[in-house]
Amino acid sequence: MNRLTLLRFTPLLLALALPGLASAADYAVQPGASKLGFTSSFQGQSFDGTFGSWTAAISYDAAKLASSKFDVEVDLASAKTGDSDRDGALPGADFFNVAKFPKAHFVTTGFRQNGAQVIADGNLTLRGVTKPVSLNVTFKPQGNGATLDVTGSVKRLDFGVGGGEYADTSVIGADVKVTAHLVLTAK
């Protein structure tokens, strides 16, 4: 193919390539209908908690995973479990240490398919420690929006949560299950 022919086909090639480079759709989270929670155990008894204050920037398209992204910031002082002793201890230096580390931050580094399951790989920063975390993603388009459900697990001691005298995993479970149910509206 000579140079002149190539120049004539360049606009056509660009037009064909650009839709593949399109970004994922941006969504606004509806906070009143959405929930960010966690489950752990204390002395063999499971307990649930929620975070009342958090933000999430969601850009997602199941057909364009390479351009999808989650960026979530959590106000750790907003953790509530329904137990006043536990709720009083969580913000303290032994657990979240909100005086020094008021926020947790998760940002995706990529998405991948594992059979029918979509996995969001990313980095979680908690108590000044950043570690990779993978989360299962279920995205369901609905009208002018969608629901997004996310589940995963983190090892609390990897981030120094409940370390020291609280490091005994027979008293406080080692794994913390993270769950989110987000109701989204297209921007």
- Of the candidates 125, 185, 184, the residue with the CA atom closest to the CA atom of residue 158: 125
Name the residue ranges covered by the structural domains of the chain: 24-186
Please report where in the chains the tokens 């479990």 appear, as a residue: 81
In this prediction, residue 163 carries a pLDDT of 84
Mean pLDDT by groups of 10 residues along the chain of 187 residues: 44 39 84 97 96 97 96 98 97 97 98 96 98 98 96 98 92 97 97
- Can you identify the CATH homologous superfamily of domain 24-186? Lipid/polyisoprenoid-binding, YceI-like (2.40.128.110)
31 forms beta bridges with none
Two structure tokens written together for 73: 């910031």
Its pTM stands at 0.86
User: Nearest to residue 104, comparing CAs of 144, 158, 141, 61?
Assistant: 158
Judged by DSSP in three states, 16 sits in: helix
